[in-house]
Amino acid sequence: MAAIRGAQGAPYAAILGIGAYRPSRVIPNADVVEAIDSSDEWIQQRSGIKQRRWATPEETVQSMSVAAAREALERAGVDARQVECVIVATVSHMLNTPAIATAIAHELGTDQPAAFDISAACAGFTHGVAMASDMVRAGSAGHVLVIGVERLTDLLDVGDRGTAFIFADGAGAVVIGPSETPGIGPVVWGSDGEQFDLIRQTEDWRDVVASDHPVMPHLAMQGNPVFRWASYAMAKVGQQALDRAGVSADELDCFVPHQANMRIVDAMARAMKLPDTVAIARDIAEQGNTSAASIPLALHRMLEEGTAKPGDTALLIAFGAGLAYAAQVVTVP
Annotated catalytic residues are 122, 258, 289
Give the residue among 73, 98, 95 at the shortest CA–CA distance from 83: 73
**Rounded least distance, CB 290 to ligand UT7, Å:** 9
CB atoms within 10 A of CB 35: 14
Q: Which residues bind ligand UT7 (CB under 6 A)?
A: 36, 38, 42, 46-47, 122, 161-162, 165, 199, 223-224, 226-227, 230, 260-261, 264, 289, 291, 320
**Rounded least distance, CB 38 to ligand UT7, Å:** 3
**Rounded least distance, CB 97 to ligand UT7, Å:** 25
Q: What is the dihedral of CA 46, 319, 268, 226, to 10 degrees?
A: 50
Residue type, 67: A
Asked whether the beta carbons of 287 and 152 are under 8 A apart, the reply is: no
CB-nearer residue toward ligand UT7: 120 or 230 = 230
CB-nearer residue toward ligand UT7: 81 or 270 = 270
**Rounded least distance, CB 293 to ligand UT7, Å:** 11
CB-nearer residue toward ligand UT7: 267 or 279 = 267
In whole angstroms, what is the distance from residue 76 CA to residue 175 CA? 7
Query: To 5 degrees, how large is the angle CA 59–CA 255–CA 229?
Result: 85
CB-nearer residue toward ligand UT7: 184 or 264 = 264
Asked whether the beta carbons of 296 and 262 are under 8 A apart, the reply is: no
Give the CA count within 13 Å in the CB-facing half-sphere of 149. Answer: 34
